[in-house]
Amino acid sequence: MKKKILSILILTAVLLTAFCANSFAQEVITGYRWHDKLARGAINVVTSPVEIVRGIDLTSKEQGALTGWTLGLIKGMAGTVLRLGTGLIDVVTFPAKFPNKARAPIIDPEYVWEDWRGEYMR
């Protein structure tokens, strides 16, 4: 089953690359290009579990250890799903200007290690 899903994802990426080949040479005004989007997506897929630690840490700092290990854990698991999903969207759609024309990040912060201070999941 995993091999079938992986094959479908690879085939989708190859087809998108073939149909959107002309977009590779175009640089967007914001500075995000196709390879930036692909790298960001791959990094966010791999580092998505770090959201659990981030959620626990930031919630503990704001509201105490007990809340951090309960509510922070739940927030971190939700953040993991969100970061994984946005990373997969970036990987699959890297040659296209989707979901926005600038190929800008879908999730804020762009990477899990950025903005490690302050409120978590505002």
Domain ranges of the chain: 2-92
Which tens digit of pLDDT belongs to each residue from 76-97? 999 999 999 999 999 999 998 8
Measured from the Cβ of residue 16, the count of other Cβ atoms closer than 10 Å reads 17
Band (27; pLDDT cuts 50, 70, 90): very low
For residues 52-82, b (16+ Cβ closer than 10 Å) or e, as one string? bebbbebbbbeeeeeebeebbbebbeebbeb
**Tokens matching residue 65:** 């250890």
Mean pLDDT value across the chain = 83
Collapse the DSSP code of 40 into the 3-class scheme (helix H, G, I; strand E, B; otherwise coil) and give the result. Answer: helix
**Are 46 and 91 within 8 A, CB to CB?**
no
pTM of the model: 0.71
Residue 30 pLDDT level (bands cut at 50, 70, 90): low
pLDDT for res 117: 80
pLDDT of residue 11: 59
Whether residue 48 has pLDDT greater than 70 = yes
